[in-house]
Amino acid sequence: MSDSKKKPKKEVIAKILASKKAHANRIQPALLIEKLKDGSKSGLSEAITLIESTKAEDIQKGQELLKLALPYSGKSIRIGITGVPGVGKSTFIESFGSYLIQQGKKVAVLAIDPTSEKSGGSILGDKTRMVELSANEKAFIRPSATAGSLGGVARKTRESVLLCEAAGFDVILIETVGVGQSEIAVHSMTDFFLLLMLAGAGDELQGIKRGIMEMADAILITKTDGKNVKMANLARAEYKNALHLFPANSNNWIPKVETISSIEKKGIEKAWSIIEDFETQTIPSGWFKKKRDEQQQFWMDETVKDLLLNDFYKTTGLKEFKEKTIKQMMSGEITSFQASELIINYYHKNND
């Protein structure tokens, strides 16, 4: 057997483990916040990795870091971007992000990807799909966190937004796939919600639920180039009509519909000017801040639920007790209501 094929010795493994542990111990919130304030992208990556960690020690450090970051956060426009796979989200983000950087902005791209847990890889926020942007010093791209429930991933993304802002990123794009619950999560952490749609893809609504269209502050018809132009213009008129049928928004903003081509870089400037108009209209009226305040409350409630559930499932013996109770319920001895009462009583008895 050649030297390179020899198994690593125990001492070598121990050394590697010790150095990893030493590195983890070196992560100090007070140092990390300084890196963030300097706009360091590697510091930002490290900070997000810390808040994504599920280790008890990291959770505590992550919370400390967020507390330190809070005074430097909030000064960005947070934009949600959704649409079915293939609609052109990453190509749009590549063009839009590059345009914003030309305008002097710093752009962070985050993602909430409900499928990544299953596929084991991320299809959103993937740097290989945003080559120009990811090479840019003023852009930061982070794929979706994969661990945990949608609620958990969403909470971490929201915390990542605060960290990006502390690192001086003034436009935050949060990408998600327009097929499920994740848009609701993205909507609840952004100021402006962009829905990307294809023209003439058979069913004009492409499985996008009415509720998602109602959440949109703007709809962009993608791929308006070549032979698609005519159809895209028709779709624009149709969507405009459809949006008129929805109830008016509480902020008096009328959702806009535009056609874009990310490849020909057409309509990109217009998309940004719509968002600027939105800010001009909703910041002075106080609506922008009101919405952020409401979002903070929503996330506070969500976190309370998460923490309670965590605490609940940590109860010693609860798993076994629950299994036993399920058996009783399945054999018809008790109802599902009685079963839940037994489980809650068990929790209280073992936590008081």
Cβ atoms of 101 and 132 within 8 Å: the answer is: no
One residue of 27, 43, 76, 91 binding ligand GDP per CB under 6 A: 91
Q: Taking CB under 6 A as the rule, does residue 262 contact ligand GDP?
A: yes
User: What gap in Å lies between CA 219 and CA 228, rounded to an integer?
Assistant: 17
Closest contact distance (angstroms) between CB of 255 and ligand GDP is: 20
Q: By C-beta, is 27 or 198 nearer to ligand GDP? A: 198
Q: By C-beta, is 36 or 81 nearer to ligand GDP? A: 81
Q: Taking CB under 6 A as the rule, does residue 214 contact ligand GDP?
A: no
Closest contact distance (angstroms) between CB of 223 and ligand GDP is: 4
User: What gap in Å lies between CA 60 and CA 290, rounded to an integer?
Assistant: 30
- Segment 225 to 244, residues that bind ligand GDP, using CB under 6 A: 225
Query: Nearest to residue 112, comparing CAs of 63, 161, 171, 42?
Result: 161
Q: By C-beta, is 44 or 197 nearer to ligand GDP? A: 197
Q: By C-beta, is 84 or 150 nearer to ligand GDP? A: 84
Residue in this structure with the two tokens 């330190």, named with its chain if needed: 68
Instruction: Specify the DSSP class assigned to residue 169.
Output: -
Q: How many CB atoms lie within 10 A of CB 219?
A: 24
CB under 8 Å to 348, separation ≥6 — which residues?
none
User: What gap in Å lies between CA 326 and CA 335, rounded to an integer?
Assistant: 10
Closest contact distance (angstroms) between CB of 142 and ligand GDP is: 16
**Rg of the chain over CA atoms, in angstroms?**
24
Q: Where are the beta strands (DSSP E) in the chain?
A: 77-83, 107-112, 139-141, 171-177, 192-197, 218-221, 256-259
One residue of 78, 89, 142, 256 binding ligand GDP per CB under 6 A: 89
User: What gap in Å lies between CA 87 and CA 175, rounded to an integer?
Assistant: 12
Q: By C-beta, is 27 or 219 nearer to ligand GDP? A: 219
Q: Taking CB under 6 A as the rule, does residue 261 contact ligand GDP?
A: yes
Give the N- to C-terminal CA distance of the chain in Å, as an integer: 60
Closest contact distance (angstroms) between CB of 232 and ligand GDP is: 10
Q: Taking CB under 6 A as the rule, does residue 222 contact ligand GDP?
A: yes
Q: Taking CB under 6 A as the rule, does residue 122 contact ligand GDP?
A: no
Q: By C-beta, is 128 or 316 nearer to ligand GDP? A: 128
- Segment 22 to 41, residues that bind ligand GDP, using CB under 6 A: none
Q: What is the total count of residues that contact ligand GDP (CB under 6 A)? A: 15
Q: Taking CB under 6 A as the rule, does residue 292 contact ligand GDP?
A: no
- Segment 67 to 86, residues that bind ligand GDP, using CB under 6 A: 83, 85-86
Q: By C-beta, is 91 or 325 nearer to ligand GDP? A: 91
Considering only the stretches 153-161, 208-216, 222-230, 291-299, report the one whose residues sit in contact with ligand GDP under the rule CB under 6 A.
222-230
One residue of 90, 182, 190, 259 binding ligand GDP per CB under 6 A: 90
Greatest CA separation for the chain: 75
Q: Taking CB under 6 A as the rule, does residue 184 contact ligand GDP?
A: no
Tokens representing residue 104 in the block: 């002097």
Cβ atoms of 50 and 32 within 8 Å: the answer is: yes
Long-range interactions of 53-57: CB distance < 8 A, separation 24+: 54/147, 54/148, 57/24
Q: Which amino acid is residue 22, in one-letter code?
A: A
Closest contact distance (angstroms) between CB of 234 and ligand GDP is: 17
Considering only the stretches 21-29, 88-96, 283-291, 298-306, report the one whose residues sit in contact with ligand GDP under the rule CB under 6 A.
88-96
Handedness of CA 150, 154, 155, 160 (dihedral sign): positive
In terms of Cβ atoms closer than 10 Å to its own Cβ (0-12, 13-18, 19+), residue 306 is middle
Binding site for ligand GDP (CB under 6 A): 83, 85-91, 129, 222-223, 225, 261-263
